[in-house]
Chain A
Amino acid sequence: MAQVFTASADTRLRAAVLLAFLLVFLAVLFVGGYADSSYGTLTGWVRDQPVPFSHEHHVAGLGIDCRYCHTSVETSARAGLPATHICMSCHSQIWTGAPMLEPVRLSLASNTPLAWNRVSRLPDYVYFNHSIHVARGVPCVTCHGRVDRMPLMSRAVPLQMQFCLDCHRDPGPNLRPAAELTRMDWSDWDRHPEAHKDYGALMVKTHGIDPAKLTQCNICHR
């Protein structure tokens, strides 16, 4: 009877095992890299929208406050997608014939909402509430980025748990005066840390914010 295994069988087995390990290692590396990539987190990717609405024009160009359209951000869990009625507050009079705004006019005439595509979407197992973040002084720009520089809307930060936890573990440095929450440019605030070195700690104390509670699972997950 001939030999079942050739003389090189051992070597080939070792090579195969090594290759298998290498493949698993690369697969883990790829999955990890994908999850953190801007492609995986959708950061910086412009989403198609029924109307190419420019936040840059409306915020930086016209100086309209975020809350003019996102009316429920101070009082409810959701910031609020503006009703067509709100768009038409101005566009009933200006750019009335613009082809770009045809879907808006159709929406008003047919009483059906514009189907915007969500840019900053959180998974369904995260119970985020806008109103409490606004009430405590987290400015819009922290999570939504420089909206005033976005002709078309894209996600500014990877909305991963790491991002939420970074702030929940140490909220103080991220708090700002309530009267200026919709301000986009905080570079002068960042340039002069000595001017507000006690502000964060003071606000944490004033509002009774307890970082130990903020990192409990059921703060965001129920």
Chain B
Amino acid sequence: MRYAAVLLPIAFVVSACDDMSHQPRYDSYEKSSLFPDGKALQAPPDGTVARDSLALEGALAQRPPMNIALLERGRERFDIFCTPCHDASGSGNGTVPARGFPHPPSFHLARLRDAPSGYFVSVITQGHGVMYSYADRVSPSDRWAIAAYIRALQLGGDAPLATLSDADRRRLSEAGP
């Protein structure tokens, strides 16, 4: 116990070292000297098959049934990933084209109204023109959800006045020309 007087202050001083906060392990976005690109988070080698790749391919190949949940999901994903360029109505006047990005075509063009839903899914997957592929950001089932929501936008944008309910028509006339 006679060492306690010496050990206690040492223990106190050492406890100030914060090794627990930076533990000798790799976290996803940390750097690493082990690999030439300096990343701890390495991409899987070419040809790696993900455990769920079959399910993802299946989801991409098969159009899910249209329902309100799909549309809700589509609207949420559309608002995140598409509105910066395509804007909330899908006419292609988003904030990014306003800053000089080439304007995307409006979803209300006859060509895109007539295009099958699979066309939008393939554009999201592979990109088109100056639009990058969104395959890394939008999962296959979400691509179909976005395509479904584009359908709803097209329907909404081109709906004849006669098909609206009285309440909707009143709101439309209140909103002005």
Asked whether, in the complex, the Cβ of A112 is within 8 Å of the Cβ of B20, the reply is no
Residues of A within 8 A of B136 (CB): 71, 83, 85-86
Q: Are B29 and A90 in contact (CB under 8 A)?
A: no
In the complex, whether A169 has a CB less than 8 A from a CB of chain B is: no
Interface residues of A in 1-21 (CB under 8 A from B): none
- The interface residues of chain B lying within 8 Å CB-to-CB of A123 are 18, 20-22
User: Is residue A89 contacting chain B, with contact meaning CB distance below 8 A?
Assistant: yes
Which of A85, A89, A90 has the most CB atoms of chain B within a 10 A radius of its CB?
Answer: A89
- Whether B84 contacts A90 by the Cβ 8 Å rule is yes
The answer to whether the Cβ of A190 comes within 8 Å of any Cβ in the partner chain is no
Contact status A115-B31, CB under 8 Å: yes
Q: How far is the CB of A137 from chain B (nearest CB, A)?
A: 14
The count of chain A contact residues (Cβ–Cβ below 8 Å) is 29
Name A65's closest neighbour in chain B (CB-CB).
B80
Q: Which of A71, A92, A95, A113 contacts B37 (CB 8 A)?
A: A113
CB atoms of A62 and B96 under 8 A apart: yes
Which A residues from 63 to 89 make CB contacts under 8 A with B? Answer: 63-65, 67-68, 71, 78, 81, 83, 85-86, 88-89
Per-residue A-contact encoding for B1-19, CB less than 8 Å = 1, 0 else: 0000000000000000010
- A interface vs B, CB < 8 Å? 61-65, 67-68, 71, 78, 81, 83, 85-86, 88-90, 92-95, 111-113, 115, 118, 123-125, 179
Q: Which 8 A-B pairs have the closest CB atoms?
A: A123-B21, A124-B23, A65-B80, A62-B95, A89-B132, A94-B100, A93-B101, A67-B80
Instruction: List 18 contacting pairs A-B, 8 Å CB cutoff, sorted by A.
Output: A63-B83, A68-B80, A68-B84, A78-B28, A78-B29, A85-B132, A89-B132, A90-B84, A93-B100, A94-B99, A94-B100, A94-B101, A111-B37, A113-B37, A115-B31, A123-B22, A124-B27, A125-B20
